[in-house]
Amino acid sequence: MTEDLFESYKNELPAKLISDLKKEISKHKLSSKQIKEIVEKTKKEFEEAKINSGEAIGIITAESFGEPSTQMTLNVFHFAGVAEVNVTLGLPRLIEIFDARKLPSTPSMEIYLKKPYNKDNKKVRKIANQIKETTLKEVVSEFTTNLLKSQVEITFEKEKMRDIGITPKSLITILETSLKGTIVKEKGSTLILKPKTKDYKLNDLYKLKEKAKDVFISGVKKITHVLPVKTDSEYMILCAGSNLKEVLKLDEIDTTRTVTNDLFETQSVLGIEAARQAIITEAQKVIEEQGLNVNIRHIMTVADVMTSRGVIKGITRSGISGEKSSVLARASFETPMKHLVNASLTGEVDYLNSIIENIMLNQPVPIGTGLPDLVAKMKIAKAKK
């Protein structure tokens, strides 16, 4: 009965509102007449709360960010909580998002795991270790250059090797492929690196040692730190550094929830709609963390403006503002000479469609109350002779 009622309102009320209603109604014992009344009232309120045509919503959105951003802290890093990965927050992060910088100053990822893995602390730790980018020096306790035998000797830590799931054998193959022209041999708990060619200088041996230190042996590249964290119901992994494409390839990962804070990476891996969502969540994260309250509709507007062209465009002179069709609007923002010179060459025409041009010319702006035009039907009186 109630279901039918809601079904009939499906096209008139947004889904969120209907589900809110259902939830609220289920809390109380109500007669169907009352329910009907509630839904009717909700519909009335919804209709009344709809936005007016001509509303200058762009300015309102800009104001809604501009005003609270004066209250944000400049403190770049976030240390709250006992253990968390440092991320840029506050005003610098907000600027970073709206600028659409190609690389965030602190790339990071939130990795969620699939069902059997996400409950067990040990398994999560193991996966985390496997994801982390590991170089040779991290599993090695000692590097020695043996000048006598002209070779580099490496003593590795078995425990750490086990943590990241690498056997000495696989290590040898990794080293052989990445250090070309080197013979790798195992000798007890040490590895021996020896250049293949006979004529080498001592200097080369030293170089080899340094090179060997930074050989990438396991994990996902660019992921520099991993941190398994317990949330309410499960374990997940926070990491510094971001490489969404590679991480999504892993079997244990819950691909539906794993996210990165790198907007352009999101765009190239998951597409523009995902990038839009990423802008919304990232901006919202900043605003909430600062204890501010900006409605999500404003964030959505900015995100939509930034992504409506199919690629992420920043709110900069080279992004949105620089691509406006009006010469005067562009010139009034930044680098006016450049825009005027180019406009004169191409013979650009400014049709004065937007706000700033009309302000410049002291004309009514086509927005809000300036939007409607009145057309009067006039009976042309015949001129009396």
Beta carbon of residue 105, minimum distance to another protein (angstroms, whole number) = 15
Q: Partners of 225 in the beta sheet?
A: 240
DSSP 65-124: HHHHHTTS--------SSS------HHHHHHHHHHT-SS-SS-EEEE-B-GGGTT-HHHH
Residues 12, 37, 210, 273: which binds another protein (CB under 8 A)? 37
Residues 171, 263, 286, 328: which binds another protein (CB under 8 A)? 328
Maximum distance among all Cα pairs of the chain, rounded to whole angstroms: 124
Give the relative orientation of helices 57-69 and 296-307 as an angle to the nearest 10 degrees.
110
Residues 345, 374, 378, 381: which binds another protein (CB under 8 A)? 345
| Interface map 97-136 toward another protein (x if CB under 8 A) | -x--------------------------------------
Show contacts with another protein in window 7-36 (CB under 8 A): 14, 16-17, 20-21, 24-25, 27-30, 34
Stretch that binds another protein, among 106-114, 149-157, 257-265, 343-351 (CB under 8 A): 343-351
d(CA 305, CA 209): 52
Token code pair at residue 370: 């300036």
Beta carbon of residue 171, minimum distance to another protein (angstroms, whole number) = 24
- The neighbour count for residue 130, using CB atoms within 10 Å, is 18
Residues 8, 77, 147, 186: which binds another protein (CB under 8 A)? 77
Stretch that binds another protein, among 107-115, 169-177, 207-215, 339-347 (CB under 8 A): 339-347
Residues 11, 197, 256, 369: which binds another protein (CB under 8 A)? 369
Virtual CA dihedral for 197, 198, 201, 204, nearest 10 degrees?
Answer: 30
> Given the complex with another protein, which of 272 and 315 has the nearer CB atom?
315
d(CA 71, CA 324): 30
**298 belongs to the binding site for another protein (CB under 8 A):** yes
Show contacts with another protein in window 260-279 (CB under 8 A): none
Show contacts with another protein in window 156-185 (CB under 8 A): none
Tell me which amino acid residue 211 is. Answer: K
Stretch that binds another protein, among 212-220, 245-253, 261-269, 295-303 (CB under 8 A): 295-303
Residues 7, 12, 63, 186: which binds another protein (CB under 8 A)? 63
**58 belongs to the binding site for another protein (CB under 8 A):** yes
Q: Is 182 helix (H, G, I), strand (E, B) or coil?
A: strand
Determine the Cα angle at 100 with ends 94 and 103, to 5°. Answer: 95
d(CA 223, CA 243): 7
